[in-house]
């Protein structure tokens, strides 16, 4: 059996002397792990198409439970990311988020759109990288079932206050009057809360259309990161690397 589709390479593992196993994020089949013969030899036709962050058209052949890439052609390589260690490490972190949240061999169109748009804006300097980080963290969590309930205070349903409180363990929002003691609550200002609601609830076409001052973006990113880390039992080594730069 064989199938052809576009996909973004989100992980590369070297095997043996010349071969690779890659994880490819596709719209129709989610993440596919596939073997690539000879991909590490520079003159191999798959050398570029199966490198990390390449968006390519692939033909996969499946035998028993193993996929092999038999044909490939480049659509886009995010070249600008390679010369900037901060952006490159952030891009690798986005890949690690997708790898942990996107389905395997099932529909994943929105994950792919988030990745391609975020990498595009990151590489073209179209948006603040911290904003892209928050979008990748929170939107991918929301569409994979970890949707926080941030419509209103979880207890009294008040919509907003100068400061609200977000429970990162249960994904719930509280006003100052209702905030329970003993929970890991993060304070959220109005602008940051509006941005979180936008990331979770907006149409994809508007997802990247909001702005916040740099200091609020840092707060937003701290909250979305801490929500991700409290929901997913995984050590994001790419995030640790990015934060140590």
Q: CA-to-CA distance for 27 and 152, rounded, in angstroms? A: 33
Residues that bind Zn ion (CB under 5 A): 153, 155-156, 158, 175, 178
Q: CA-to-CA distance for 236 and 142, rounded, in angstroms? A: 18
Considering the complex, state which of residue 137 and residue 167 has its C-beta at the smaller distance from Zn ion.
167
Considering the complex, state which of residue 104 and residue 157 has its C-beta at the smaller distance from Zn ion.
157
Considering the complex, state which of residue 75 and residue 155 has its C-beta at the smaller distance from Zn ion.
155
Q: Smallest distance, Å, CB 175 to Zn ion?
A: 3
Q: Smallest distance, Å, CB 151 to Zn ion?
A: 12
Question: Two tokens at 25?
Answer: 């994020």
Considering the complex, state which of residue 67 and residue 174 has its C-beta at the smaller distance from Zn ion.
174
**Best CA proximity match to 81, nearest among 118, 110, 41:** 118
Q: Is there a contact between 203 and 223 (Cβ–Cβ < 8 Å)? A: no
Q: Smallest distance, Å, CB 174 to Zn ion?
A: 6
Considering the complex, state which of residue 86 and residue 151 has its C-beta at the smaller distance from Zn ion.
151
Q: Smallest distance, Å, CB 158 to Zn ion?
A: 5
Considering the complex, state which of residue 61 and residue 155 has its C-beta at the smaller distance from Zn ion.
155
Q: Smallest distance, Å, CB 161 to Zn ion?
A: 8
Q: Smallest distance, Å, CB 102 to Zn ion?
A: 35
Q: Smallest distance, Å, CB 165 to Zn ion?
A: 9
Considering the complex, state which of residue 178 and residue 194 has its C-beta at the smaller distance from Zn ion.
178
């Amino acid at each position: 059996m064989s199938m052809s589709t576009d996909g973004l390479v989100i992980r590369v593992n070297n095997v043996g002397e010349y071969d690779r196993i890659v994880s490819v994020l596709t719209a129709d089949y989610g993440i596919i792990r596939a073997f690539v013969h000879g991909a590490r030899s520079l003159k191999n036709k798959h050398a570029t198409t199966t490198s990390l962050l390449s968006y390519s058209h692939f033909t996969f052949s499946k035998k028993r439970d193993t996929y092999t890439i038999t044909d490939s052609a480049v659509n886009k390589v995010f070249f600008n990311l390679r010369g900037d260690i901060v952006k490159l490490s952030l891009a690798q972190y986005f890949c690690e988020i997708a790898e942990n949240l996107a389905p395997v061999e099932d529909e994943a169109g929105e994950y792919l759109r988030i990745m391609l748009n975020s990498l595009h804006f990151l590489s073209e300097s179209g948006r603040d990288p911290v904003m892209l980080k928050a979008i990748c963290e929170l939107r991918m969590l929301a569409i994979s079932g970890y949707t926080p309930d941030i419509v209103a205070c979880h207890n009294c349903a008040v919509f907003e206050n100068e400061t609200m409180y977000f429970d990162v363990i249960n994904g719930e929002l509280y006003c100052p009057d209702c905030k329970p003691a003993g929970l890991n609550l993060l304070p959220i200002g109005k602008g940051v809360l509006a941005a979180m609601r936008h990331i979770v609830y907006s149409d994809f076409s508007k997802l990247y259309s909001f702005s916040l001052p740099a200091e609020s973006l840092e707060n937003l990113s701290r909250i979305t990161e801490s929500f991700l880390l409290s929901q997913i039992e995984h050590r994001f080594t790419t995030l640790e690397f990015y934060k140590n730069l």
